[in-house]
Structures are given as C-alpha cells and as structure tokens.
C-alpha cells in the first residue's frame, strides 16, 4: 500500500528550489492525486495473466494424459489422469526408477507408460522375475509380491541412447522384455502427478 505524506507542502518547502530561492518552494502547487485503476479492471487483468500462464505451462511444461490399462498397478490404475513433465529431460538426465511416457517402438502413434529399469550401458539380466543390474540384485519396492512373475531373460547390455522399460505389474506388462530397449528419441515425458480420481491423487514415484 502506498503511503501519502500528511503535509506534502511542508516537505517540499524544506528544500530550496532550483534557482536557490527557498521562499518559492512553498508556493508550488500540490501534486495531482494518483488515479487508481478500478477493482474490476485489476481482477480482469489478473484473470487474463493467470489464463495465459496456465496455457503456457500446459503447452510447454506439462501435459495431461490418461492411463489405459493396468500394467502400472498398484500406483497407476486404469483411467487415472495425470500430468507429465515434457520439459524436465531437456535439462536433466533420465534416471532409473523414473516413470516415463514414450512412443511405442512398434507403432509411434501409440504411447506407453512404464518405469525405467536400466540405463544405456547397463548389464541387465532377469532370473525368474528377479532383476540383476550390473551384477547386483535389485530390490524393487514398487513391485508388490502378488504382481511379480517368474520370467527370465539372458544377460544383455543396454544399447547407447536406449533405456530398458518394465511395468510394475510384471505378470501382465508388455514392455522391453518383448519389444526391446526404447530409444531416447521416443521418450517425451516424465509422469509427475495424478490429479484424478482424487483417491489416487499424488506424486508418482
């Protein structure tokens, strides 16, 4: 809130005018009152700024998507709606454990959502459902016992600029065990927040 002096003339007269005659300072007319914009105008302006900011954020940073299927249970359910961050991987690296959205390698018109299990250059093998990465057994807390399977896969090295993806519901997931590692150019977002339904709302981990 702006503060207005109680007596503007008294303050002005305490200093000499430009030509060095202190007696003329008190004769100056008082400053014109400040015109304030109406409340409705301010409200409309703020509303417009908020709308533009929302459009820019959704267009360049976040995109709402809908989950179809149950391969990411228990965290993501069929028809959950969530925001994905489309910008984050332009400034930071993809990490193991990230839940990402990518174009399906066999049909780029479709999009899949899976978890990153292995990075470029990693040595990966699966022994009766247990994931071994660079010689170390992985403790995957995001896969409940009832969603595990007993599938095995011979050791492989993940190619350069590619990522090995798997669903959390291992027994029903179609993932890199079938269609192979996913090239970096096909990955376009990171799942960050479920907003609907409210019972599932929260950060995606």
Within-domain flag for 35: no
The CA-based angle 170-172-174, given to 5 degrees, is: 85
Report yes or no on 32 lying in a domain.
no
Reported as a pLDDT band with limits 50, 70 and 90, residue 20 is: very low
Domain tally, the chain: 1
Helix (H) / strand (E) element for 191: namely strand 187-196
For the chain, give the mean pLDDT.
85
54 within domain boundaries: no
| pLDDT tens string 43-59 | 888 888 888 877 767 66
Cα–Cα distance between 5 and 13 in angstroms, integer?
13
Instruction: Examine residue 134 and state whether it is found in any structural domain, yes or no.
Output: yes
135 lies in some domain: yes
Task: Output the domain CATH number for residue 91.
Answer: 2.10.109.10
Give me the residue label for tokens 């910008």.
Answer: 87
Residue-level pLDDT at 28: 56
- Domain assignment present for 22: no
Q: Which residues does the annotation mark as catalytic?
A: 71, 114
- The answer as to whether 101 is a domain residue is yes
Residue 101 burial (CB < 10 Å; 0-12/13-18/19+)? buried
């Amino acid at each position: 809130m702006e503060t207005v002096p109680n007596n503007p003339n008294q303050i002005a007269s305490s200093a000499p005018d430009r030509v060095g005659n202190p007696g003329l300072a008190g004769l100056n007319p008082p400053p014109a009152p400040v015109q304030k914009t109406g409340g409705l105008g301010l409200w409309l302006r703020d509303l417009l700024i908020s709308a533009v900011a929302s459009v820019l954020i959704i267009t360049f940073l976040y995109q709402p998507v809908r989950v179809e299927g149950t391969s990411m249970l228990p965290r993501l359910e069929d028809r959950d709606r969530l925001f994905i961050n489309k910008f984050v991987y332009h400034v930071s690296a993809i990490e193991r454990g990230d839940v990402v959205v990518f174009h399906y390698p066999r049909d780029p018109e479709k999009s899949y959502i899976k978890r990153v299990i292995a990075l470029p250059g990693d040595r990966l093998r699966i022994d009766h459902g247990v994931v071994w990465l660079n010689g170390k057994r992985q403790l995957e807390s995001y896969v409940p016992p009832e969603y595990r399977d007993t599938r095995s896969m011979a050791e492989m090295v993940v190619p350069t600029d590619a990522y090995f993806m798997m669903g959390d519901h291992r027994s029903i997931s179609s993932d890199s065990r079938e269609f192979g590692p996913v090239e970096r150019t096909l990955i376009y977002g990171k799942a960050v927040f479920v907003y609907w339904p409210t019972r599932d709302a929260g950060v995606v981990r």
